[in-house]
């Protein structure tokens, strides 16, 4: 069996999976793990393999040491690069700007292009590049492929992609809507036509990726026509710790009146806002427990979250004119039946009716949760970004 190594490198972490690209979406990957707390006094590497979990702890000064330790731990348990056949490495890259619409075979030149996009994603692209550089050094003889989170939204119509900001300034600084979670929206939306039994070229749909980060997409005949994230992943829906859409005037107000620096406001909106900003927690399991215990802040945070979600669903129904399906995915979307029910409550007049029993039934796979009468079908389709990245990387590797 040949496997694809999928790497998702963050500023202080590396998520890795060894994936058989022919596996089913709900199968556990061949091996998976996480390198955490890179650059902190103590770091940790976890590996899940063969139904077991292994951990090592040691300081991890940089990404290179992190990947080294991950490979060593995998080697100890018989799933390292020397033990299994790795056909290619798929790298998740957050920002592909206006340059990249498709996955790319990584060369020195491609790395430089990704580096050039750092101003658009100062937190993400540098970490992605570290991961790419280290992995290319360690596995020099196999193809490395970059898969961009923005790629799917590359050809969005100008009316949705452009902000109403002075042309010249916007153009010079790359200010436009790029959209993120593209791999997930693409993967999930491609699954929906078969659930509907319809030709993909005739399906209009809304996909809702509700995880710690959250975004919505409107997709016509397989092509995205709008999405909620913007130039950065801060825009759109209320998220775990991110505010989503706010009046941009709030930034000037906080700068002038609260004396906050731009970096402080950046931190506030990205890390201390969203559900966490109102309720103090960002995990929906904890939020749900707090709501159950009648915590008023948790209830309020939940209502703000749902209100914003419904706003986007409504506007995408109008943008698409006619829709066949609405699909929930990611941690919250796949697991929290209350979110699904509340997001689409009281929309019978619009042809949407959730079946409470189907919605509550425990199930891991893709499934319908609307009633047979519902004109617009509602689905849960588990996302699997790693598998999607692995398949894209394999496709490029096979065509070399
Ligand atoms: P993701 O970013 O897709 O990994 O989603 C992570 C989020 O999903 C967590 O922060 C939780 O809020 C949420 N989540 C995961 N499992 C559950 C669950 N069983 N019920 C409700 N929310 C969940």
Q: Using a 6 Å cutoff on CB, does residue 330 contact ligand 1?
A: yes
Quote the CA–CA distance of 163 and 177 in Å, as a whole number: 7
Band the pLDDT of 382: cuts 50, 70, 90: very high
Cα 386 to Cα 21, 259, 264: the distances in Å are: 9, 42, 33
Residue nearest to atom 18 of ligand 1 (CA): 335
What three-state secondary structure class fits 393? helix
Residues 128 and 213 in one domain: no
Q: Is 301 in the pocket of ligand 1 (CB under 6 A)?
A: no
Number of domains in the chain: 2
Inter-CA distances, 272 with 49, 165, 265, 267, 322, Å: 35, 28, 10, 7, 37
Segment 197-209 shows an average pLDDT of: 98
- Average pLDDT score over residue span 75-84: 96
Q: Does any domain span residue 82?
A: yes
Residues 69 and 202 both lie in one domain: no
Q: Tell me which DSSP letter residue 151 carries.
A: G
| Section 336-360 average pLDDT | 98
Mean per-residue pLDDT, 278-303 = 98
Query: Would you call 295 a catalytic residue per the annotation?
Result: no
Given 148, 163, 190, the domain boundary residue is 148
- Say yes or no to pLDDT of 362 above 90: no
Active-site pick, 68, 83, 149, 297: 149
Q: Report how far apart, in Å, the C-alpha atoms of 295 and of each of 166, 240, 279, 280, 285 are.
A: 45, 17, 9, 11, 14
323 inside domain: yes
pLDDT on residue 1: 80
Confidence of residue 59 (pLDDT cuts 50, 70, 90): very high
Mean pLDDT of 180-196: 97
Count how many residues are written for the chain: 400
Q: How do residues 248-263 score in pLDDT, each as one tens digit?
A: 999 999 999 999 999 9
Identify the pLDDT of residue 40: 93
Q: Is residue 188 part of a domain?
A: no
CA distance between the termini of the chain = 19
Ligand 1 mutation target, pool 233, 240, 285, most atoms within 8 A of CB: 285
140 with 225, same domain: the answer is: no
Among protein residues, the one with the nearest Cα to ligand 1's atom 9 is 283
Residues 139 and 282 in one domain: no
Cβ 211 under 6 angstroms from ligand 1:
yes
Q: What is the token pair recorded at 76?
A: 């100890």
Domain match, 257 and 355 both: yes
| Ligand 1 pocket residue status of 335, Cβ below 6 Å | yes
Which is the closest atom of ligand 1 to the Cα of 240?
10
User: Does residue 353 share a domain with residue 214?
Assistant: yes
- Tokens standing for residue 209: 């990726």
> Is the pLDDT assigned to residue 364 strictly greater than 90?
no
Q: Identify whether residues 225 and 137 lie together within a single domain.
A: no
Distance 336 CA to ligand 1 centre (A): 8
The neighbour count for residue 345, using CB atoms within 10 Å, is 12
Domain of 344 in residue numbering reads as 198-385
Q: Are 359 and 341 in contact (CB under 8 A)?
A: yes
Residue 25 has pLDDT above 90, yes or no: no
Q: Are 146 and 91 in contact (CB under 8 A)?
A: yes
Sheet strand arrangement including 204-210:
223-227, 214-220, 204-210, 325-329, 377-380, 367-368
Residues in the annotated binding site for ATP? 15, 209-213, 283-285, 331-335
Nearest-atom number in ligand 1 for the CA of 283 is: 12
Q: How many CB atoms lie within 10 A of CB 75?
A: 13
How far does residue 109's CA lie from ligand 1's centre (Å)? 37
CA angle 389, 200, 345 (to 5 degrees): 90
Judge if 142 and 202 occupy the same domain: no
At 33, which CATH number?
3.30.420.40
The pair of structure tokens assigned to 175 is: 């200010």
| In-domain check, residue 400 | no
**Residue with CA closest to ligand 1 atom 19:** 335
Does residue 209 fall inside a structural domain?
yes
pLDDT, averaged across the chain: 96
At which of 117, 148, 179 does a domain end? 148
Decide which of 107, 128, 148 is a domain's last residue: 148
Ligand 1 and 284: CB distance under 6 A: yes
Kindly tell me if the per-residue pLDDT of 11 is higher than 90. Answer: no
Predicted confidence at residue 298, as pLDDT, reads: 98
Measure 89 CA to ligand 1 centroid, in angstroms: 27
């Amino acid at each position: 069996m040949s496997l694809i190594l999928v790497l998702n490198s963050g500023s202080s972490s590396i998520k890795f999976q060894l994936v058989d690209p022919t596996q089913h979406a709900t199968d556990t990957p061949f091996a998976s793990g996480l390198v955490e707390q890179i650059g902190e006094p103590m770091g940790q590497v976890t590996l899940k393999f063969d139904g077991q979990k292994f951990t090592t702890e040691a300081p991890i000064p940089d990404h290179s040491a992190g990947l080294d330790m991950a490979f060593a731990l995998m080697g100890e348990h018989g799933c390292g690069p020397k033990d299994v056949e790795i056909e290619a490495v798929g790298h998740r890259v957050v920002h592909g700007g206006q340059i990249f619409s498709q996955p790319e075979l990584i060369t020195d030149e491609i790395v430089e292009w990704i580096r050039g996009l750092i101003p658009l994603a100062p937190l993400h692209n540098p970490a992605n590049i570290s991961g790419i550089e280290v992995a290319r050094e360690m596995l020099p003889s196999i193809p490395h492929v970059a898969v961009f989170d923005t790629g799917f939204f590359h050809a969005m119509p100008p009316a949705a992609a452009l902000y109403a900001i002075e042309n010249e300034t916007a153009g010079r600084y790359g200010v436009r809507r790029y959209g993120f979670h593209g791999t997930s929206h693409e993967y999930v939306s491609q699954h929906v036509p078969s659930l509907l039994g319809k030709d993909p070229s005739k399906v209009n749909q809304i996909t809702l990726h509700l995880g710690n980060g959250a975004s919505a997409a409107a997709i016509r005949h397989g092509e995205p026509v709008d999405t909620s994230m913007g130039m950065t992943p801060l825009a759109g829906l209320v998220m775990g710790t991110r505010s989503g859409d706010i009046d941009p005037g709030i930034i000037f107000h906080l700068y002038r009146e609260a004396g906050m620096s731009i970096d402080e406001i950046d931190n506030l909106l990205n890390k201390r806002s969203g559900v966490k900003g109102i309720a103090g927690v960002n995990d929906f399991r904890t939020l749900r427990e707090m709501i159950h215990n009648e915590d008023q802040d948790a209830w309020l945070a939940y209502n703000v979250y749902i209100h914003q979600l419904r706003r986007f669903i409504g506007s995408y129904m109008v943008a698409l004119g006619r829709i066949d399906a609405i699909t929930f995915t990611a941690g919250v979307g796949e697991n929290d039946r209350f979110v699904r029910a509340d997001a689409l409550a009281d929309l019978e007049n619009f042809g949407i009716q959730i079946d409470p029993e189907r919605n509550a039934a425990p199930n891991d796979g893709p499934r319908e949760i609307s009633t047979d009468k519902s004109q617009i079908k509602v689905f849960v389709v588990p996302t699997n970004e790693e598998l999607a990245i692995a398949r894209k990387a394999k496709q490029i590797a096979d065509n070399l």
